[in-house]
Amino acid sequence: MSSMFPADVFDPKRRDFLLAGAGAVTAMAIFPELSVARSLQGADTLNIALVGCGRQGRAIIGELQKIENVKIVAVCDTDESRANGAARRVEGAEVFTDHKAMLDKRKDIAAVVVATPTHLHRQPVVDCLGAGKHVYCEAPMAHTIEDAKAIAAAASAAGKLVTAIGYEGRSNPVYQLARTFFRSDAVRDVIACSAHQYQKTTWRFAGSDARREADANWRLNPELSLGLPGEWGSHQFDVAHWYLDELPAVVRGGGAVRFHADGRTIADTVHAELVFKDGVRMQYDASLCTSYLGRAETFRGINATIRLAWSHGWMFKEADAPTQGWEVYANRQQFHNDEGITLIAGATKLAEQGKLKEGVGLPHPSLYYSLWDFAEACAKGKAPTVSAAAALKTTAVAIAAAEACAKGTEIKIDPSIAGSKPS
Amino acid sequence: MAPGCQSDLSTLPPAGGHDAPLLHATMAMGTRFEIALPRWQASQPRLQSVAEVVMDDIRHWHEVLSGFAPDSWLNHLHRAAVGRAGPVRADRAVFDLLARCEAARVASGGCFDIAVGHLMARHGLRSSASEAIADQTVGDPPADLPADLPRERWITLDPDRLTVLLAPGVRLDFGAVAKGFALDMARSTLADLGIASCLLHGGTSSVLALGSPTPPGSAAPRAAGWAVTLGGPGGRRLLLHNASLSVSAPSGRTAGSAHHIMDPRLGRPADRPPALAATVADSGLQAEIWSTVAIVSQGRHPATPVGVLVAVADAPGDSPHNRHHPRDIHPPPVPGHVLRWRADNDPLTWVDEP
């Protein structure tokens, strides 16, 4: 064998990976497409209504406004001042305080985005699907398994109507790109995974009067809220389900009020362990008492570790992992003693042009891609990225995690869910 | 960023005391925003949640207006211009901000212009790592802004559709006004939440002062307003009451010999800028606009609106003064309150006189 060629060039497995790598490079070169806001070319204008005009509703309006063929025609909130506030931000949106009245009056609505508090998802989702509207529902889908099943059943009964659930990781281009590496030999056998989210906040929202304040602070009510494992953790659990292509069988957890001793009973700091088959475990930590490290998910394999941080992603290779062809273009960032290869859509092109200085984030917030996927599914009759059936499983895991953390115990996931595929 | 002012919290009860104001801070717009909320207004949990809501608002506007964040609305607008993708829809508040900036451009004779992002890039003032990253997501630096394209056609605002269209090659920079605008938005939120007293500042150069540190009716000396000191210790002391303060200085961000405050009329950094310009106005946006104008015009702009008070310091360490009214001015009323500059007193004070 000629010494001019590295031995692994002649290794069929290696060649296969190079081909896979070439595919990955293609996937990385999607930046120009991502950069410009997408439009639903060839589609009629999609009339959308927003139900729930709180802070997440504000973010949703901002991202929907970027999608060319989408028009927000109505906004609805039981709090009229909040609905009026949302309507002021959009040209031509009609205000409602009752979603049923909105559905009765505005027959031109094609799709509805439901961004009410989690415990108030069920009724508008079921009613909107019943009225023949496509629905995007924020995640987690519900705070009880009964509500989650009711939403999944309504989605199933709605036939070809799109019911999408807002687990944004699956629409996030960085996460999609990283998954192509994760599913290849670049990472190989998964050893363990972890996720954390830290943000220093009371999670308490001021309202203009006592009733509004009580309504706004549903997250602190254990009867209505899944707490950190549900409101935050379920998004990260869903990423793990999607990457590992399986659901955990068992979840253990614990939590406490470590700092915000303001009479709340819901934990401000939690930890959980999700146990998958073959012993792979996901460690989860979240806290409202510190912000250091923010949010990230980590997947460790024997060849590399992938770290995802919402708008950014990196791969940390083991020294003995095979060198891959595309690495010539790779941008790297130093993290103390470790060097991460940035997983960037379009990195190859930028690197060739000598423009890549360090990690480039997404050109839009993750929410944008999730809403765009929904709009495209509605316009083109495609399946949603995250169906209600898939979200039911993640929601079930989140409910179990919330219970485990609240009770400091171990919960077995319903075998009918644990034994199934995540999507 | 040069230090703008120092909130004189030494006049307040000591931190940690039961009547010390609640303090809360966040990082946004490349600086630290801090709010002080006197405790006589509400319970600790409510004040804490008010502070968090306000800071959440400020971070939101950062995410919309930042030239540093690739995923900001501003860079979405820039990408649309580069890609000739047509008009971009705007949040009504942002649309109004742009409309007010355009009006201020006309009123200031071009001394203030929001469309200076491409000028800053040309002078190497968009070279930080995060800006370079954001620019990568926007596309190649614009070179196709026709020299003969009238300024009126650089930004097209459609009030019926709430859309914005930039001419290819034009880039906006909200750096001069974003903090003041965010303070105005925060003021609205604070009013909704029934908060009448707070000091909120962004990086000490943009300040919103509501009420005073003491409860209404108090006879304490600090009942007249919030004390801030221009330029830090030893500088002029101001009392602010229901007013916004903006301090601009060319000494903050530089690239070689170029400072960051553009003279849009010349297409380059302002010539012979004063060391510092401070303005007090009813709105944070107005204060920011006219402090920038004061730097560009060396404090000599004749058309400063009623109710906007301007002082400049020619050299570091100088006391800020007003070139047009070296002794005393009594501007006519502005809605809601009268601001009076008492130049005969030392220190200068602006006080609210309803």
Give the pLDDT confidence of A321-349 residue by residue, as tens digits: 988 776 776 778 888 889 888 886 655 55
Residue range B213-223, pLDDT digits in tens? 888 888 776 77
Tell me the three state secondary structure of residue B221. helix
- Nearest residue to A284 via CA among A194, A377, A181, A172: A194
In terms of pLDDT, which residue wins out, B15 or A159? A159
> Distances from the Cα of B80 to the Cαs of B9, B60, B61, B90, in angstroms?
45, 21, 20, 13
Q: Is B212 in contact with B222 (CB distance < 8 Å)?
A: yes
Contact B53 A205 (CB under 8 A): yes
* Residue B236: how many other CB atoms lie within 10 Å: 20
Contact A89 B69 (CB under 8 A): no
Indicate whether B312 pLDDT > 80.
Answer: no
Question: Residue A42: which pLDDT band, with cuts at 50, 70 and 90?
Answer: low
Tell me the three state secondary structure of residue B227. strand
Indicate whether B331 pLDDT > 50.
Answer: no
Q: What counts of helices (H) and strands (E) characterise chain B?
A: 7, 19
Angle made by CA atoms A189, A276, A21, in degrees to the nearest 5: 30
Chosen from B61, B71, B198 to mutate, greatest number of chain A CBs within 10 A: B71
Name the token pair of B215.
């409860």
pLDDT at B308: 78
Domains of chain A, each with CATH number or no CATH: 37-169 (3.40.50.720), 173-364+388-418 (3.30.360.10)
pLDDT at B177: 97
3-state secondary structure chain A: CCCCCCHHHHCHHHHHHHHHHHHHHHHHCCHHHHHCCCCCCCCCCEEEEEECCCHHHHHHHHHHCCCCCEEEEEEECCCHHHHHHHHHCCCCCEEECCHHHHHHHCCCCCEEEECCCHHHCHHHHHHHHHCCCEEEEECCCCCCHHHHHHHHHHHHHCCCCCEEEECHHHHCHHHHHHHHHHCCCCCCCEEEEEEEEECCCCCCCCCCCHHHHHHHCHHHCCCCCCHHHHHHHHHHHHHHHHHHCCCCCEEEEEEECCCCCCCCCCCCEEEEEEECHHHCEEEEEEECCCCCCCEEEEEEECCEEEEEECCEEEEEECCCCCCCHHHHHCCEEEECCEEEEECCCCHHHHHHCCCCCCCCCCCCCHHHHHHHHHHHHHHHCCCCCCEHHHHHHHHHHHHHHHHHHHHCCEEECCHHHHCCCCC
Least-confidence region, from A15-24, B98-107, B191-200, B208-217: A15-24
Mean of the pLDDT values across residues A258-262? 94
In chain B, the residue whose alpha carbon lies closest to the alpha carbon of A216 is B49
First to last CA, chain B: 34
Name the token pair of B125.
């003032």
Question: Residue A128: which pLDDT band, with cuts at 50, 70 and 90?
Answer: very high
- Give the rounded percent of residues in chain A with a pLDDT score beyond 90: 69
- Nearest residue to B350 via CA among B274, B300, B287: B287
What is the C-alpha to C-alpha distance for residues A419 and A277, in angstroms, rounded to an integer? 10
Indicate whether A352 pLDDT > 60.
Answer: no
Cis before residue B87, ω within 30 degrees of 0?
no
Indicate whether A351 pLDDT > 70.
Answer: no
In chain A, the residue whose alpha carbon lies closest to the alpha carbon of B94 is A89
Contact A365 B71 (CB under 8 A): yes
Indicate whether B188 pLDDT > 80.
Answer: yes
What is the C-alpha to C-alpha distance for residues A372 and A355, in angstroms, rounded to an integer? 28
Which bin fits B203, alpha (ψ -120 to 50), beta or left (φ > 0)? left
Indicate whether A202 pLDDT > 90.
Answer: yes
In terms of pLDDT, which residue wins out, A210 or B305? A210
Q: Does the ipTM exceed 0.90?
A: no
Contact B133 A61 (CB under 8 A): no
Mean of the pLDDT values across residues B333-349? 35
Question: Residue A28: which pLDDT band, with cuts at 50, 70 and 90?
Answer: very low
- Nearest residue to A360 via CA among A388, A391, A332, A319: A332
Residues of A in contact with B77 (CB under 8 A): none
**Amino acid occupying residue A384:** P
Q: Is A236 in contact with A167 (CB distance < 8 Å)?
A: no
Q: Is A282 in contact with A404 (CB distance < 8 Å)?
A: no
Indicate whether B52 pLDDT > 80.
Answer: yes
In terms of pLDDT, which residue wins out, B292 or B2? B292
For A255, residues 6+ apart whose C-beta sits below 8 A from its C-beta are A227, A228, A267, A269, A270, A271, A405, A406, A408
Residues of B in contact with A37 (CB under 8 A): 76, 79-80, 85, 88
Is residue A259 packed enough to be buried (19+ CB in 10 Å), middle (13-18) or exposed (0-12)?
middle
CATH code of B5-60+177-352, in short, is 3.10.520.10
**Amino acid occupying residue A408:** G
What is the C-alpha to C-alpha distance for residues B179 and B205, in angstroms, rounded to an integer? 9
Provide the shortest C-alpha distance from residue A243 to chain B (in Å). Answer: 25
Dihedral sign, Cα of residue B223, residue B225, residue B230, residue B236? negative
In terms of pLDDT, which residue wins out, A262 or B349? A262
**Amino acid occupying residue B342:** R
- Give the rounded percent of residues in chain B with a pLDDT score beyond 90: 42
- Nearest residue to A137 via CA among A161, A159, A157: A161
- Which residues are B210's β-sheet partners? B198
Question: Residue A151: which pLDDT band, with cuts at 50, 70 and 90?
Answer: very high
Residue range B54-75, pLDDT digits in tens? 999 999 999 999 988 888 999 9
- Nearest residue to A259 via CA among A201, A323, A173, A331: A201
- Which residues are A198's β-sheet partners? A287
In terms of pLDDT, which residue wins out, A346 or A224? A224
Least-confidence region, from A4-8, A274-278, B233-237: A4-8
Is residue B74 packed enough to be buried (19+ CB in 10 Å), middle (13-18) or exposed (0-12)?
buried
pLDDT at A130: 98
Indicate whether B152 pLDDT > 70.
Answer: yes
User: In whole numbers, what is the pLDDT of chain B averaged over residues?
Assistant: 79
Chain B contacts to A (CB-CB under 8 A)? 44-46, 48-50, 52-53, 56, 60, 63-64, 69-71, 73, 75-76, 79-80, 83, 85-86, 88-93, 129, 132-133, 136-139, 160-162, 192-194
- Nearest residue to A274 via CA among A225, A231, A237, A235: A237
In chain A, the residue whose alpha carbon lies closest to the alpha carbon of B163 is A91
What is the C-alpha to C-alpha distance for residues B77 and B69, in angstroms, rounded to an integer? 13
Mean of the pLDDT values across residues A97-118? 98
pLDDT at B70: 84
pLDDT at B274: 83
Give the strand order in the sheet containing B237-240: B5-7, B226-230, B237-240
In chain B, the residue whose alpha carbon lies closest to the alpha carbon of A62 is B91
Q: Where are the domains of chain B?
A: 5-60+177-352, 73-166
Name the token pair of A181.
């590496």
Mean of the pLDDT values across residues A211-226? 94
Least-confidence region, from A90-99, A305-314, B283-292, B330-339: B330-339
CA B85 to mean position of chain CA atoms: 31
First to last CA, chain A: 46
Mean of the pLDDT values across residues A398-403? 97
Contact A36 B70 (CB under 8 A): no
pLDDT at A40: 66
Residues of A in contact with B64 (CB under 8 A): 62
- Which residues are A309's β-sheet partners? A312
Question: Residue A208: which pLDDT band, with cuts at 50, 70 and 90?
Answer: confident
**Amino acid occupying residue B260:** H
Question: Residue B352: which pLDDT band, with cuts at 50, 70 and 90?
Answer: very low
pLDDT at A332: 81
Question: Residue B206: which pLDDT band, with cuts at 50, 70 and 90?
Answer: very high
- Nearest residue to A171 via CA among A376, A401, A420, A378: A376
Residue range B227-267, pLDDT digits in tens? 877 765 556 667 788 889 998 888 766 666 667 888 999 88
What is the C-alpha to C-alpha distance for residues A415 and A393, in angstroms, rounded to an integer? 11
Provide the shortest C-alpha distance from residue B85 to chain A (in Å). Answer: 8
pLDDT at B333: 32
In chain B, the residue whose alpha carbon lies closest to the alpha carbon of A82 is B192
Tell me the three state secondary structure of residue B152. helix
Across A11-44, b (16+ Cβ under 10 Å) vs e yields eeebeebbebbeebbebbbebeebbbbbbbeeee
* A262 closest CB neighbour out of B45, B76, B162: B45
- Nearest residue to A375 via CA among A72, A34, A36: A72
Residue indicated by tokens 């460790």: A300
User: In whole numbers, what is the pLDDT of chain A averaged over residues?
Assistant: 86
pLDDT at B339: 36
Residues of B in contact with A36 (CB under 8 A): 79-80, 83, 85
Interface of A with B in 163-222 (CB under 8 A): 201-202, 204-208, 213
Name the token pair of A211.
């009733």
- Output phi, psi for B227, to 5 deg: -90, 130
Residues of A in contact with B70 (CB under 8 A): 360-363
Q: Is B97 in contact with B181 (CB distance < 8 Å)?
A: yes
In chain B, the residue whose alpha carbon lies closest to the alpha carbon of A88 is B92
Indicate whether B353 pLDDT > 90.
Answer: no
pLDDT at A8: 32
pLDDT at B278: 85
What is the C-alpha to C-alpha distance for residues A240 and A305, in angstroms, rounded to an integer? 14
Indicate whether B96 pLDDT > 70.
Answer: yes
Residues of A in contact with B99 (CB under 8 A): none
In terms of pLDDT, which residue wins out, B123 or B341? B123
What is the C-alpha to C-alpha distance for residues B254 and B124, in angstroms, rounded to an integer? 9
Longest dimension (CA), chain B: 63
Indicate whether B330 pLDDT > 50.
Answer: no
- Compute the half-sphere exposure of residue B229: CA atoms within 13 Å on the CB side of its CA: 11
Q: Is A46 in contact with A375 (CB distance < 8 Å)?
A: yes
A26/B contact by beta carbon, under 8 A:
no
